[in-house]
Amino acid sequence: MTTAPSPSRLGRVVRGAGPGLLLAHGAGGGIDANFGPLMDTLAAGHTVVGPDYPGTGRTPRATAPLGLDTLADALVATAVEEGVDTFAIAGYSLGSAVAVRAATRHPGRVTGLVLTAGFAHPSPRLLLAARLWRDLLRDGETERLAAFLSLIGVSAPVLDGAAQDGLDAALTATAAGIPPGTADHIDLLLAEADVRTDLAALAVPALVVSTTLDQLVTPHHHRQLADGVPGARYAELATGHLPFAEQPERWAALVTDFLQDNGI
């Protein structure tokens, strides 16, 4: 018997009709930022529930450190509160670890997984980048943080082809739009975003999408994740860490085609 998780208290977006699809966004992101460009496509065939983590979008910042278990439970609770009892989960970046943990803690509810730009555990290189991200943020160096995130988050072909005025405007917008809960998300990544022991227990259809030009969560992580999930399908997307900015239509098609192929 599947029991209802505790109330989530997460703000959320709910769109569409059909089978359930729960979204898990990345660190320092948000549902609108990470999944907004895909939402119309996803909601055309699914009831999409998109919770904002504490400190992003519609959700106030947490008053205590975030835990992977509690965050995964809160996402599941959000879907259940909206009357969506079973659902696939599309996890992006840190959201892939959240999605995996949700699937192992609530196996009776999760029908499938799509894990994009994700990791089973952060490599020393990713931890180095995360610590620098955290330190720049805590020091109030938002302009330098925006430059750093652009260098490792946006693919080289896109940055090389950018006009200077457009890049400057993007950096200004990035610096001004950092969610207040970002440091909490990074602390979670640094402290306990390791789901290697969860992977073998997964028993639902899964797709791992590798962002092949990613310099933040590199393809090394995507392969490790795909290799650890039993029967996982693997697909590649030629973008940096921001597929919603570089190839949203292609990313949306990978998600919806996989769900349709598996009757989810």
Report yes or no on 238 lying in a domain: yes
CATH of the domain at 214: 3.40.50.1820
Report yes or no on 147 lying in a domain: no
Report yes or no on 149 lying in a domain: no
Instruction: Report percent pLDDT > 70 for the chain.
Output: 97
- Domain span including residue 223: 12-124+181-261
Report yes or no on 165 lying in a domain: no
Report yes or no on 219 lying in a domain: yes
Mind listing the pLDDT tens digit for each residue in 105-149? Answer: 999 999 999 999 999 999 999 999 999 999 999 999 999 999 999
Question: Amino acid identity, residue 119?
Answer: F
Confidence (pTM): 0.95
What is the DSSP annotation of 145-186? HHHHHHHHHS-HHHHHT--HHHHHHHHHHHHHT--TTHHHHH
Structural domains counted in the chain? 1
pLDDT for the residue numbered 5: 56
Mind listing the pLDDT tens digit for each residue in 208-259? Answer: 999 999 999 999 999 999 999 999 999 999 999 999 999 999 999 999 999 9
Report yes or no on 160 lying in a domain: no
- Mention every residue, 6+ apart, whose C-beta is less than 8 A from residue 252: 37, 38, 41, 42
Report yes or no on 169 lying in a domain: no
User: Residue 110 pairs with which residues in a beta bridge?
Assistant: 87
pLDDT for the residue numbered 107: 97
Report yes or no on 174 lying in a domain: no
State the chain's mean pLDDT as an integer: 96
Contacts within 8 Å (CB) and 24+ apart, 40-45: 41/249, 41/252, 41/253, 41/256, 42/15, 42/16, 42/90, 42/252, 42/255, 42/256, 43/15, 43/16, 44/16, 44/256, 45/16, 45/18, 45/19, 45/256, 45/259, 45/260
